Amino acid sequence: MSGLLERLRGRGWRMTSQRRVVAEVLDGDHVHLTADEVHVRAARRLPEISRATVYNTFGELVSLGEVTEISTHGRAKRYDPNAHHPHQHLVCSGCGIIRDVHPAGDPLAGLPAEARFGFTVSEVEVTYRGLCPSCVPGLPHV
């Protein structure tokens, strides 16, 4: 689990029923949902929750650094609750599914000092793209 609920409680974030249900829907491993997907799932638990509340909650969570916004080519933004666990993403170019990956080694090692143009690099974002087993006929599903 991402630990999102525990982190928010630890920060003293005001936990209304709407905010709680959004955080509950987001909490977990490999969770990269769109705002609309979160709204649908949250409405199953709390029918009166509005789409605007979901978007406002995301705005707060992103501003707090508790959720990361992920943009993928031509698709709706997705939200990642694993903001405090360094990782990279594997994105299917077919269906858009996103998985968290944790390759060994320092991703910054691939950028030699002479190629940094004097930058002090504070973070690295790596996205792997390809086709998942569901999008490649004949491959076993994982």
The confidence score (pLDDT) of residue 1 equals: 46
The confidence score (pLDDT) of residue 44 equals: 96
- DSSP class per residue in 72-127: -TTS--EEES-TTS--EEEEETTT--EEEE--SS-GGGGS-GGGSTT--------E
The confidence score (pLDDT) of residue 142 equals: 57
pLDDT along the chain (142 residues), means of 10: 81 92 86 92 96 95 92 85 86 89 80 86 86 81 57
Q: Could you tell me the end-to-end alpha-carbon distance of the chain, in angstroms, rounded to an integer?
A: 20
Which amino acid is it at 64?
L
Task: Give the predicted TM-score (pTM) of the model.
Answer: 0.79
In which residue are the tokens 């005001």 written? 14
Cβ pair 113, 96 in contact under 8 A: no
Structural domains in the chain, CATH included, are 4-80 (1.10.10.10), 88-135 (3.30.1490.190)
The confidence score (pLDDT) of residue 126 equals: 84
The confidence score (pLDDT) of residue 36 equals: 94
